[in-house]
A and B are shown apart, each in its own frame.
Chain A
Amino acid sequence: SNAMFKKFSMEVVQSQNKTKSSVQRAIRQKLEEQFPTLEGAWDDIMPPKSDFMAVKCQNHITLITADKQILFFQERDGPYSPCLRLLQQYPQMLPKMQCDIGACKFIIGGSNIMCPGLTHPDACMDEDVGVGQIVGIYVHGKEHPCGVGMMKMSTDAIRKVNKGHGIENLHYLGDGLWHNHTLDM
Chain B
Amino acid sequence: QGRRARVRPQAHHIRNFRDCEIMGRKKRASRKKEQHSDSEDEENEEETVEENKEEAPDEPVQPDGDSDTGSEESGSDNEEDQVSKPIGVQVEYCPKCTFPFEYCEYAGMIEQCKPGLMEWMKRKAVATEGEGEIDEASLENKVKQKKKTPEGVEKMLPGGKVKKKEENMVVISVASRQKRKAVTSITGLELFGVKLADAAKDFKKKFSCGAAVVKTPTGKEQIDIQGEFRDQLLEMWEKQFKTIPKSAVFVVDEGKNKVAAFE
Residues of A within 8 A of B (CB): 21-22, 25, 28-29, 32, 37-41, 43-45, 48-49, 85, 88-92, 102-106, 108, 142-144, 146, 173-174, 178-179
A28/B99 contact (C-beta < 8 A), A89-B91, A108-B106 known: no
Pairwise interchain contact B64-A105, C-beta atoms closer than 8 A: no
Determine if B86 is an interface residue (Cβ-Cβ < 8 Å).
Answer: yes
* Residue in chain A with minimal CB distance to B106: A108
Closest Cβ neighbor of B88 among chain A residues: A89
* Contact indicator B91/A88 (Cβ below 8 Å): yes
Flag if B99 contacts A174 (CB, 8 Å). yes
User: Are A90 and B102 in contact, with the CB atoms below 8 A?
Assistant: no
A88 to B99, CA, bound (A): 11
Does A21 contact B158, Cβ atoms closer than 8 Å?
Answer: no
* B70 lies within 8 A of A22 (CB): no
Per-position 1/0 for B192-232, Cβ under 8 A of A: 00000000000000000000000000000000000000000
For this complex, 23 residue pairs linking A to B, each with C-beta atoms less than 8 Å apart, are A21-B64, A22-B64, A28-B66, A32-B69, A37-B86, A41-B85, A45-B88, A48-B62, A48-B66, A85-B91, A88-B91, A89-B90, A90-B89, A91-B89, A103-B158, A104-B106, A105-B106, A144-B100, A144-B102, A173-B103, A173-B106, A174-B107, A179-B98
Name the residue in B60, B64, B100, B160 with the highest tally of chain A Cβ atoms < 10 Å from its Cβ: B100
The size class of the interface chain B forms with chain A is 20 to 34
User: What residues of chain A lie closer than 8 Å to B103, measured between beta carbons?
Assistant: 104, 108, 142, 144, 146, 173
Closest chain B residue to A181, Cβ basis: B98
- How many angstroms between the C-alpha atoms of A115 and B83 in the bound complex? 37
Closest residue to B15 on the A side, CB-wise?
Answer: A40
In the complex, A28 Cα to B69 Cα: how many Å?
10
| Residues of chain B within 8 A of A41, CB atoms compared | 85-88
Q: Is B65 an interface residue (CB 8 A)?
A: yes
Q: List B69-109 residues whose CB lies under 8 Å from chain A.
A: 69-70, 83-91, 98-100, 102-103, 106-107
A25 pairs with B89, CB closer than 8 A = no
Q: Are B102 and A142 in contact (CB under 8 A)?
A: yes
Pairs A-B, 6 closest by C-beta atoms: A40-B85, A89-B88, A21-B64, A41-B86, A48-B62, A88-B91
- The reply to whether B86 and A40 form a contact with Cβ atoms under 8 Å apart is yes
- Minimum CB–CB distance for B142 against chain A, Å: 12
The A-contacting residues of B in range 27-70, CB under 8 angstroms, are: 60-62, 64-66, 69-70
Task: Say yes or no: A48 contacts B91, CB within 8 Å.
Answer: no
Please indicate which of the listed interface residues B65, B83, B89, B160 has the most CB atoms of chain A within 10 Å of its own CB.
Answer: B89
Partner of A143, one of B15, B66, B99, B102: B102
Shortest Cβ distance from residue A83 to the other chain B in the assembled complex, whole angstroms: 13
Measured CB to CB, the closest approach of chain A to B13, in angstroms, equals 10
B16 at the interface (CB under 8 A from A): yes
Q: Could you say which residues of chain B place their CB within 8 Å of the CB of A48?
A: 60-62, 66
B82 → A minimal CB distance (Å): 12
Residue A88 contacts which of B62, B65, B86, B89 (CB distance < 8 angstroms)?
Answer: B89
Alpha-carbon distance A13/B100, docked complex (angstroms): 27
Residue of A nearest to B87 (CB): A41
Determine if B64 and A25 form an interchain contact, defined as CB atoms under 8 angstroms apart. Answer: yes
